[in-house]
Amino acid sequence: MGTNVLTPGKIVSVSEFSQGKAGKVFNDVGTNKNSYIVMKNNTPVAVIVSIEEYNTYQDRIEALEAKLAAYINAPAKRIGVAQASFDVPDDFDDWDIGFGDDDEDLT
């Protein structure tokens, strides 16, 4: 899978495609798994990623949708967090939703 951080070197304008840069960009994406932001009038309009990265994103979305559906239909337990209570499914602790390292503090 390609990197999640798109650096300025990985930005390409629509006009550069008409100047023959498209082949280089697509070759770089296919060979090196780099991603590009496509700009039009200084506004991002598209992202070009490898098919492998696209498939990974699709798989993650499908997995999260399945977990969300399970959450909606699961019997819930109550937990208290910062003076509030939330309903969570019994297996919520086992979910891996890709927020980073397990030990990472997200606050």
Q: Is 69 helix (H, G, I), strand (E, B) or coil?
A: helix
At residue 107, the pLDDT reads: 43
Q: Of 24 and 107, which is predicted with more confidence?
A: 24
Domain assignments of the chain as residue spans, ordered by start: 8-49, 53-93
Rg, the chain, Cα only: 20
CATH code linked to domain 8-49: 3.40.1620
Calpha distance 20→87 (Å, rounded):
55
Q: DSSP secondary structure string, 15-56?
A: HHIIIIIHHHHHHHHHHH---EEEEETTEEEEEE--HHHHHH
Q: What is the pLDDT of residues 12-71, one digit of tens each?
A: 999 998 898 999 999 999 999 899 999 999 999 999 999 998 999 999 999 998 888 887
Q: Which of the four pLDDT bands, split at 50, 70 and 90, describes residue 75? A: low
